[in-house]
Amino acid sequence: MLLIAEQCLNGLQFGLLLFLLAAGLTLVFGIMDLVNLAHGSLYMVGAYFAATFAALTGSFLIGAVLALVATLLVGMAVEVIALRRLYGRDHLDHVLGTFGLILFFNELVRLVWGPAGRTLPLPSWLNTALEIVPGLYYPTYRFAIIVVTLAVAIFLYLLVMRTRIGMLIRAGASNREMVGALGINIKLLYTLVFGLGAALAGLAGLMQAPILTVQIGMGENVLILAFVVIIIGGIGSIRGAFIASIFVGLLDTVGRAFLIDLLRVVFSQNAASTAGAALSSMLIYVVMAVVLVLRPEGLFPVSSK
Amino acid sequence: MKALATPRGMVVAVLLIFLALLPVYAAASGNAFLLTLFTRIVILAIAATSLNLIMGYGGLVSFGHAAYLGVGGYVIGILAKEGITSGFVQWPLALVVSGLFALVVGALSLRTRGVYFIMITLAFAQMIYYVAVGLDRYGGDDGLTIYRRSQFAGLLNLSNKTVFYYVCLILLMAVIYVCWRLVNSRFGLVVQGARSNDRRMRSLGFPTFRYRLTCFVIAGVLCGLAGALLANHTDFVSPAMMHWTRSGDLIVMVVLGGMASSFGPLIGAVALLVLEETLSGVTEYWQIILGPLLLLVVLFARGGIDGLLAGGRRA
Amino acid sequence: MPDALLQIADLTKRFGGVTASDHITLDIWRGELHAIIGPNGAGKTTLIGQLTGELAPNSGHIRFDGQDITALPVYRRSQLGLARSFQITSLFLDFTALDNVALAVQAHAGHSFRFWHDARREPELREPARAALDRVGLTRRADVRVANLSHGEHRQLEIAMALATRPRMLLLDEPMAGMGPEESARMVAMLRELKQELTILLIEHDMEAVFALADRITVLVYGRVIASGTPDAIRANAEVREAYLGEQQVVAHG
């Protein structure tokens, strides 16, 4: 029972991290109609920056903040230098161009940081466990991730729903030409939106760094999941991304644990582990396939342009 | 023959002659590596040509095409491990399984378009990738060694590198020819029309879905053939064959060479792999150059090499 | 009782809070040229969308030659003989004019699961295509890439493609949009010819053309049919004048 609760929390935490990635992706896609495969690279860059800055400054928090700022700057630089020329083009061009950026970033990271991964150790005050309910202990850090990402989600909600910029974002998501016709400085808006997306990706990268990994190519696997999330949730919809990422996170974590337990009845631990992982990964894609067949616009589509 | 007089025609002719005489040159210069490299190029050119069928002519950007390389390859690998090494059994089965996989993936994916299509084909490729990783019996993540290449009852000795190279080259020519005929047939025109304006096609009275699906399956089968060849070439199959970056490579080949042209994919395969080889001689970090180069091609030379040769007319 | 080729019964289409088609009931008689007019936003495009099958109505039925086609997909309706031209030109830009029309012929020449022979050399596709191009006056432009044709030629090509499918009824969605006076006159002449052999449903803004060609006119305002009858009756109808014709120049007719 407690194990299920813990798995659920893990699933929630993973889902929320996924949300950070998906939110940035869906914003950029919804507003600039840009398919950005290199979003995962920003996630990776965030993690690497965090590892380096934390080591340099000796403080996890300062390192995290610096990494966030650095990723934001890198994101905006990439937008200005490379990506803005892709706006309005075929999605295939986006896919190709940003695929090229992935290659570039992976190699750049390898050049600067070397082929071996990095680690980002947790400070002692985070490396504890909280007693959430009597008897259930949960790692403080994971709990912190949940809190931080929920806070970001609320911030995003307020930003999109309650501010002028948010209104422009929503308007842009449903009718790009109109926003341009209104005379808003589109270029600046786009750069800022992209920067926001980059910051979110970097935040996700640096937060998962202590518990998962900091290595080259780490962005790609989770990027695909993020795309699955925004397809299920509906492109351009942050609300959809939120719900879909929680769902996918739970499905992945809880589903995997459940499947492994189920398979362990028949198979060895090792076989059950790999098979369970494979099946649960497949499960997510199966769900996406079903959504695409039944409701191609996603579960919470933004009304079309 | 008029086509030969154009710059593009001449480049293709020279390339074909070079490919035909390559083993002779490799033997003469003692450079065995060249033969290995170009065998790989020819095999991947088959895969790229099959991708061009759906991507260049059909307008369907599949980011999961390497899955068929894997499916074809794994059929060979699995059968070989289970003791079935006859090419007469392995190869047709590889084609059939690839076709079936393409049928399922296509039937589901073709209900979507644009970037959704790209992502769902990617997702399916990931699925089959994870299935391969989970196949403990067949090596899982480490892959599966093939100890005996496909046997053709003594008619063809695939273990002979030169023979194998020519088998691949002949198959490549056959595939290019078949695709050329396909594209200009009634079927091909429907697929091209559907790429150009699907809505119009349907309003003219074409049930476009079934034609696109058929095209998708054909492309999958041809790529499965490439997979079978690749398995024999490397004597090894692993999930890495179907990693999505491999699909990316195929897309790069098609775009670099020139979409919607018969020899574009071959040119692209040659260009990419030769570029990889030379650049990695220059620096270990050659992808730093390749990445932005790709972006530049997308931005400024969209028609690929073939487009440049044809005078940049292509959009 | 005149023979109705197309029967539209109580067709309703809502988009959120907007009723784009409001219980439209209309019969198109065999052999007539029936024009639908109405101010912008009247729901003419929505109506065509439902007739061709691109939009599903919320309620109501459509019968074509007695057969209920309400649930049929777009391509099936075309195969039954209902052809349409598009308001915003929807052609195959990279192909030649002849290729475009040949595709239209091919759509109605059996299945296309033929993988080997060069379709561009099939006389059973190319001949009828050339004939259709001749009909609309594009013979000399047959081998030109559509992207290089003028706007007026695009509109002609649209008609050629619709004709090449050997339809029983033509749905023409603003075929004269964006045409100058000379081109419009030519189009009117051609439509007058086509009238003899085909039933035509014409959606148009060009009042001169409408009154010159139409056997009957239906006026659509805010998705509702407010009047339907002969051109004279429509011209005299007070409600119509108020809602629509009053905004346009009153067209003098000879």
- Per DSSP bridges, beta strands C216-221 and C4-15 are unpaired
A103 CB neighbours in chain B (<8 A) are 287-288, 290-291, 294
- Total count of domains within chain C: 2
Contacts of B18 (CB under 8 A, 6+ apart): none
Cβ atoms of A219 and A226 closer than 8 Å: no
C184 lies in which domain range? 1-81+169-254
Chain-centroid distance of CA B136 in Å reads 27
Q: Which pLDDT tens digit goes with each residue over A121-145?
A: 888 777 778 777 777 778 888 888 8
How far is A247 from A232, CA to CA, in rounded Å?
Answer: 10
- In chain C, the DSSP E strands lie at 4-15, 18-29, 33-37, 59-64, 67-68, 82-85, 169-173, 199-203, 216-221, 224-229
Structural tokens at position C129: 């295509």
Q: Three-state SS across chain B?
A: CHHHHCHHHHHHHHHHHHHHHHHHHHHHHCCHHHHHHHHHHHHHHHHHHHHHHHHHHCCCCCCCCHHHHHHHHHHHHHHHHCCCCEHHHHHHHHHHHHHHHHHHHHHHHCCCCHHHHHHHHHHHHHHHHHHHHHCHHHCHHHCEECCCCCECCCCCCCCCHHHHHHHHHHHHHHHHHHHHHHHHCHHHHHHHHHHHHHHHHHHHCCCHHHHHHHHHHHHHHHHHHHHHHHHHHHCEECHHHHCHHHHHHHHHHHHHHCCCCCCHHHHHHHHHHHHHHHHHHHCCCCHHHHHHHHHHHHHHCCCHHHHHHCCCCCC
How far is C156 from C176, CA to CA, in rounded Å?
Answer: 9
- Among candidate residues A101, A126, A128, the one with its CA nearest the CA of residue A45: A101
Q: How many residues does chain B have?
A: 315
Per-residue confidence in pLDDT tens, chain B, 315 aa: 556 677 888 888 999 999 999 999 988 888 888 999 999 999 999 999 999 999 989 888 898 999 999 999 999 999 999 988 888 999 999 999 999 999 999 998 898 877 778 888 888 888 888 888 878 788 888 889 988 888 888 788 888 889 999 999 999 999 999 999 999 999 999 999 998 889 999 999 999 999 999 999 999 999 999 999 999 999 999 999 998 889 989 998 998 888 878 999 999 999 999 888 888 787 777 888 888 888 888 888 777 777 777 764 444
Asked if C73's CB is within 8 angstroms of B200's CB, the reply is: no
The beta-carbon neighbor of B291 closest among A94, A100, A231 is A100
pLDDT of residue C144: 92
Asked if A292's CB is within 8 angstroms of B112's CB, the reply is: yes
Higher pLDDT, C89 or C166: C166
Tell me whether residue B63 is in a domain.
yes
pLDDT of residue B213: 96
Phi first, then psi, for residue A173 (nearest 5°) are: -65, -30
Contacts of A280 (CB under 8 A, 6+ apart): A251, A252, A255, A256, A259
Element (H, E) at A251: helix A238-264
N- to C-terminal Cα separation, chain B: 26
**Nearest C-alpha in A relative to B115:** A91
Q: CATH number of the domain at C22, please.
A: 3.40.50.300
Cβ atoms of B155 and B149 closer than 8 Å: no
The count of other CB atoms within 10 Å of the CB of residue C124 is 12
Sheet with strand C82-85: strands edge to edge: C82-85, C169-173, C199-203, C33-37, C216-221, C224-229
Cβ atoms of A167 and A153 closer than 8 Å: no
Element (H, E) at A132: strand A129-133
How far is B98 from B219, CA to CA, in rounded Å?
Answer: 9
How far is A264 from A276, CA to CA, in rounded Å?
Answer: 9
Beta-carbon pairs below 8 A across chains B and C: 91
**ipTM here:** 0.86
C116 touches chain B (CB under 8 A): yes
C113 touches chain B (CB under 8 A): yes
Interface with chain B: mutation pick from C50, C51, C112, highest number of B CBs within 10 Å: C112
- Total count of domains within chain B: 1
- Per DSSP bridges, beta strands C169-173 and C82-85 are parallel
Contacts of B166 (CB under 8 A, 6+ apart): B23
B245 CB neighbours in chain A (<8 A) are 220
The count of other CB atoms within 10 Å of the CB of residue A60 is 21
CA distance B48 to chain C (A): 20
For residue C143, the 8-state DSSP code is: T
Q: Which pLDDT tens digit goes with each residue over C38-96?
A: 887 778 889 999 999 999 999 999 999 989 999 999 999 999 999 998 888 789 988 99
Structural tokens at position A268: 């060895």
Question: Which residues from B are below 8 Å from C when comparing CB atoms?
Answer: 181-182, 184-190, 192-193, 196-197, 199-208, 211, 214, 315
How far is A68 from B72, CA to CA, in rounded Å?
Answer: 44
Interface with chain C: mutation pick from B186, B201, B217, highest number of C CBs within 10 Å: B186
B203 CB neighbours in chain C (<8 A) are 52, 54, 74-75, 78, 84, 86, 90
Tell me whether residue B205 is in a domain.
yes
B131 CB neighbours in chain A (<8 A) are 278, 282
Tell me whether residue C4 is in a domain.
yes
The beta-carbon neighbor of B290 closest among A103, A277, A286 is A103
pLDDT band at C246 (very low <50, low <70, confident <90, very high): low
Tell me whether residue B189 is in a domain.
yes
Binding partners of C (≥3 Cβ pairs within 8 A): B
Tracing tokens 């903040």 back to the chain, one arrives at: A65
**Nearest C-alpha in C relative to B210:** C113
CA distance B30 to chain C (A): 42
pLDDT band at A173 (very low <50, low <70, confident <90, very high): low
Report the CATH architecture of A2-294: Orthogonal Bundle (1.10)
The beta-carbon neighbor of C115 closest among B187, B201, B203 is B187
A99 CB neighbours in chain B (<8 A) are 248, 251-252, 294
Tracing tokens 């076989």 back to the chain, one arrives at: A271
Q: Where are the domains of chain A?
A: 2-294
Contacts of B272 (CB under 8 A, 6+ apart): B249, B252, B253, B256
Tracing tokens 């101010």 back to the chain, one arrives at: C39
The beta-carbon neighbor of B200 closest among C92, C94, C113 is C92
**Nearest C-alpha in B relative to A273:** B134
pLDDT of residue B315: 40
Residue C239 burial by CB count (10 A; 0-12/13-18/19+): exposed, middle or buried? exposed
Structural tokens at position A120: 């980002």
For helices B244-257 and B32-52, give the axis angle rounded to 10 degrees. Answer: 80
Report helix, strand or coil for C122.
coil
Residue A287 burial by CB count (10 A; 0-12/13-18/19+): exposed, middle or buried? middle
The stretch C108-120 carries a mean pLDDT of 91
CA distance B215 to chain C (A): 10
Cβ atoms of B265 and B48 closer than 8 Å: yes
- Among candidate residues C238, C236, C239, C188, the one with its CA nearest the CA of residue C214: C188
Contacts of B126 (CB under 8 A, 6+ apart): A224, A281, A285, B64, B244
Up-side HSE of residue A64: CA atoms within 13 Å toward CB?
A: 19
Does A174 have pLDDT greater than 70? no
Asked if C79's CB is within 8 angstroms of B188's CB, the reply is: no
CA distance A282 to chain B (A): 5
pTM score = 0.87
The beta-carbon neighbor of B119 closest among A94, A110, A227 is A227
Cβ atoms of A68 and A76 closer than 8 Å: no
Structural tokens at position A201: 């990706």
Tracing tokens 């929920």 back to the chain, one arrives at: A150
pLDDT of residue B305: 79
Cβ atoms of A277 and B130 closer than 8 Å: yes
Asked if A281's CB is within 8 angstroms of B127's CB, the reply is: yes
